[in-house]
Amino acid sequence: MIEFEYWQLLLFPLFFGLGWAAARVDIRHLVKESRSLPRSYFQGLNFLLNEQPDRAIEAFVDAVKVDPQTVELHFALGGLFRRRGETERAIRMHQNLVDREDLPQHLKLKALAELGQDFLKAGLLDRAEAIFDKLRGTAEDEDAKRNLLEIYQLERDWEKAIAIAAELPDVASQKEIAEYYCELAAAEMMRSHRDLARQHLQTALERNRKCVRASLLQGDLEAQAGNDLLAIDWWQRIEQQDPVYLALVAQRLLDAYRRLDRRDEGLQLLRGYLERYPSLDLLDVVFQLVLESDGADAAYRLVRDELKRNPTLLGFDKLLEARLLVAPPETRADLDLAKGIVQGYTRRLARYQCDNCGFKARQFYWRCPACGGWETYPPKRTEEFDLTP
C-alpha cells in the first residue's frame, strides 16, 4: 500500500494555479491572434459552417487581399481552386506566393511545386515540366520526379520516361518500364525500323519476361517480314505469360494459318484455346472460322455449346446471329426482332473495364486513360468481368 504524506496536499493548489495561468496565457494568445485576422476570414468560416462554399471562397479571397501574410490560406485556396477546375485562379494564387521576396525558401519551393501542379492540371505541360525540372535536387525532388514521369508519359517522350523511372524504383515498376520500351518499339515499327523495334522489344522482355505486349509486337514484326511460323511462335508464348490476352492475337493467328494454308491446324489451336480460356472475343474469331470451314450448322452448334458452358447475354446475341443463318425464312423476322432487343441490352456489356479504377471503354487500352495504370485492362467484356470470381 502506498503511503500518503499530508504535505502532498499542498501540491494540488499549486498544480491548479499553474494550469489556470497556462490557460490564461493560451486564451490571451488566441484572442490576440484572432484580433489580427481580417473580419472576412471569420465571415468565410461562417459561410462554410452554413454550407455556402462559394461565398466562403470569396470571403477567404478578400481575407488574403486584406492580409497578404496569410500564407497557409493562399495554399489552401490555391489547392481548392485546382480541385474545382479553376486553374487560372489557382495559378494566380500560387504565382503570387512565388513572386513574394519575403517568403522563406521552403515555402517558396512549396509554392513552386503547387504552381507546377496547377500547370499540369491545366494541360500546360511545357510550363509544368520547366518548373519540376527546376525543383530537382531540392526538398521537393521526389515529388518533382513523379510529376515529370507523368508529364513524359502524357507527352509520349518514352526515352525521358525510362530515364526518370530509373530514379524512381519505388514508383515505376519493371512492368511499366517494359511498356515504355514497347511504346518505343511500336513507334519504330511505324517508321519501318524493324531492327530498332526488335532491340526495344528484347529489352522489354528483359525487364519483364511476362510482358504480353512485347510478345504480341514481336509476332507482328515477324508477320510483317513474312515469317508467319515465327510470328505464330511468338503469339503462342502469350499462353504462358497471361492466357487472357490470347483474345488479342486470335485473329492474327487465324490470318497467319490462312497464309500458310494450314487453316485446319489453326482452327484446332483456337478451339483448344476457347475450351481452356473462355472468351467472347475468342468465340467471335472461332465462330467465323467454323462458319467458313464447316458451315452455318456447325457454327450454330459451336455457339450453342459455348453458351451452355458460359451463359452470357453477349453469347446469346451471338447465338441469335448463328440461328439466323440456319433459320427458315418464315422465322427470320421474329429472330431479327429478338436480336435487336437483345443488342439494346448488350451494348453496355460489350465494353472493356479497367480492373484498377473501373473505367469502361469501347476499345482496348494498354494504359487506362482514367487512372493511368498499365495493363489494367484485361481483354474481357464487362459482362465477363462481372462474372469472373
What pLDDT score was predicted for residue 170?
Answer: 84
d(CA 387, CA 389): 6
Domain ranges of the chain: 68-168, 173-241, 243-349, 351-389
DSSP class of residue 277?
S
Query: What single letter denotes the amino acid at residue 322?
Result: A
- pLDDT (tens digit per residue) in 90-105: 888 788 778 878 778 8
Cell 489453326: give the residue.
266
What pLDDT score was predicted for residue 343?
Answer: 66
d(CA 139, CA 150): 19
| Listed residue (155, 131, 161, 125) closest to 143, CA to CA | 131
Q: Which three cell numbers stand for residue 160?
A: 525521358
pLDDT < 70 regions, the chain = 1-71, 73, 313-316, 318-320, 322, 325-326, 330, 334-335, 338-339, 341-350, 381-389
What pLDDT score was predicted for residue 96?
Answer: 78
Q: List helix spans (H) across 100-211.
A: 105-122, 125-135, 141-155, 158-165, 174-190, 194-207
Half-sphere exposure of 352 (CA within 13 A, CB side): 24
d(CA 340, CA 338): 5
| Listed residue (252, 225, 226) closest to 237, CA to CA | 252
**Record: fold of 243-349:** 1.25.40
**Record: fold of 68-168:** 1.25.40
Cell 508519359: give the residue.
153
What pLDDT score was predicted for residue 28?
Answer: 45
d(CA 250, CA 255): 9
| Listed residue (194, 182, 262, 188) closest to 224, CA to CA | 194
Judge whether 173-241 and 243-349 match in fold. yes
Cell 482452327: give the residue.
267
Q: Is 368 annotated as a binding residue?
A: yes
Strand partners for 352 = 361, 381
Q: Is 354 annotated as a binding residue?
A: yes
The class level of CATH for 173-241 reads mainly alpha
d(CA 153, CA 374): 11
Quote the pTM value: 0.74
Q: Is 371 annotated as a binding residue?
A: yes
First to last CA, the chain: 63
